[in-house]
């Protein structure tokens, strides 16, 4: 049925799929960036419906049209991403780390964590992503856009290249004070 999920009991509209297909047919250069993290919930429950149901649909559409994408995966959902069996073709998919976890609110702000906690969480997240997805993440995006010069220093000390730092003030290719490794 047009505009509805395949499940007959569902009331959730999927009109957005038709809109994405129309966009994908247009002739322009684009790369999509996707944060792959737990669902944003205020009740404290950890769920991954967006990863389990949403990511494969978007990923298949992008891949079918050879649209490159950046996947920024949080360490806590890397196993779920691996279980989806997505083909992470290196020519179309750049793999990035999105921190260890991404709880709602300021608990995930890197700018509020000590250097010791930052280092431990970033090492753990990178290790989990690498072991579950068989690739070393080459990008990093801070949860809740909470990058700071201190966090960049910790990433720099860990030898991580920062390719994309999305904030209102910093764009790809510009340096943020405190890091010599921005690309």
CA-based R_g, the chain, Å: 17
Output the pLDDT for position 171.
40
Nearest of 113, 120, 169, 161 to residue 141 by alpha carbon: 161
Share of the chain above pLDDT 90, in %: 20
Output the pLDDT for position 162.
61
Specify the pTM. 0.71
Domain positions in the chain? 15-157
Model confidence band, residue 3 (pLDDT cutoffs 50, 70, 90): very low
Give 77-108 pLDDT, tens digit per residue: 999 999 888 877 777 888 889 999 887 778 77
Say yes or no to pLDDT of 27 above 50.
yes
Q: Give the CATH architecture of domain 15-157.
A: Alpha-Beta Barrel (3.20)
Q: Where is pLDDT greater, at 42 or 10?
A: 42
What distances in angstroms separate CA 92 from CA 63, 97, 104, 181, one per listed residue?
A: 8, 17, 30, 24
Say yes or no to pLDDT of 11 above 80.
no
pLDDT mean across residues, the chain: 76
Output the pLDDT for position 13.
54
What distances in angstroms separate CA 9 from CA 12, 16, 88, 131, one per listed residue?
A: 9, 19, 32, 38
Dihedral of CA atoms 50, 54, 55, 57 in degrees, nearest 10, equals 170
The CB density around residue 69, as the number of other CB atoms within 10 Å, is 17
Q: Is 30 helix (H, G, I), strand (E, B) or coil?
A: coil
Average pLDDT over residues 143-164: 76
Give 33-58 pLDDT, tens digit per residue: 889 999 888 887 889 998 999 999 98
Average pLDDT over residues 107-128: 89
The CB density around residue 31, as the number of other CB atoms within 10 Å, is 11
Say yes or no to pLDDT of 132 above 90.
yes
Beta strands in 32-183 (DSSP E): 32-36, 69-73, 93-97, 139-140
């Amino acid at each position: 049925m047009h505009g509805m999920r395949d499940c007959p009991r569902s009331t959730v509209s999927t009109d957005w799929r038709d809109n994405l297909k129309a966009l994908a047919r247009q002739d322009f250069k684009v790369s999509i960036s996707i944060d792959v993290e737990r669902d944003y919930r205020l009740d404290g429950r950890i769920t991954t419906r967006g990863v389990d149901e949403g990511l494969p649909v978007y990923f298949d559409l992008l891949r079918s049209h050879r649209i490159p994408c950046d996947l920024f995966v949080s360490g806590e959902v890397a196993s779920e991403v691996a279980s989806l069996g997505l083909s992470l073709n290196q020519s179309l998919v750049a793999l990035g780390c999105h921190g260890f976890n991404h709880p709602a609110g300021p608990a995930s702000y890197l700018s509020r964590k000590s250097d010791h906690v930052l280092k431990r969480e970033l090492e753990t997240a990178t290790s989990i992503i690498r072991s579950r997805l068989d690739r070393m993440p080459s990008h990093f995006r801070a949860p809740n856009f909470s990058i700071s010069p201190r966090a960049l220093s910790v990433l720099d000390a860990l030898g991580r290249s920062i390719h994309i730092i999305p904030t209102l003030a910093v764009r790809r290719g510009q340096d943020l004070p405190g890091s010599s490794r921005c690309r």
